[in-house]
Structure formats: C-alpha cells, structure tokens
Amino acid sequence: MSAPDPRPLPADLPQSPCVGICSACFDDVCRGCGRTLTEISEWLFMSDSQRQAIWRRVLDQGWQPRRGARRA
C-alpha cells in the first residue's frame, strides 16, 4: 500500500469529477471526467482517501472542472 499523496487538492472542487458528458464507447474510461466505469459506479461508496486519489489522477491528466460547479 502506498503512502497518501501529500499534495493538497484545490478547495473549490465539485463533489465529483462528472461534467455531464458521459462517453466510454471504446474503453472503460469516461471521456468527460476521466474516471473508469468502476470508479463512477463506486464513487458514492468510496472513502475520502480513495476519492482524493482519483481526483489527483484526473487533475494530473488535465481534467478541467465545469465552470460554476462548486463543492457544496
């Protein structure tokens, strides 16, 4: 098991990376948010550390949050 990533996440992230443009036609990665189909289906049941790891990966891959989508 790897150590948690010490880099802080931006404080204004929405609750999930979803941008409402779902497309995973050719593999199991959504072109809208960068998550795998498994990550999408299990998102509500994941721990904060699991979600943070996914956030870091999609942000590192260049994902851009929707404008005006703030975390509640």
| Cα–Cα distance, 31 to 38 (Å, whole number) | 14
% residues pLDDT > 70 (the chain): 82
Strand partners, 29: 36
Q: Binning pLDDT at 50, 70 and 90, where does residue 26 land?
A: confident
Domain ranges of the chain: 21-62
- Of 52, 26, 21, the C-alpha closest to 39 is 52
Give the tokens for residue 56. Answer: 């870091």
pLDDT of residue 1: 55
Taking the model in full, what pTM does it have?
A: 0.77
**pLDDT greater than 80 at residue 12:** yes
Angle at 50 (CA atoms; ends 49, 54), nearest 5 degrees: 115
If you average pLDDT over every residue of the chain, what do you get?
83
Section 54-67 average pLDDT: 84
| Mean local confidence (pLDDT), 37-48 | 94
Containing 49, the helix (H) or strand (E) segment is helix 48-60
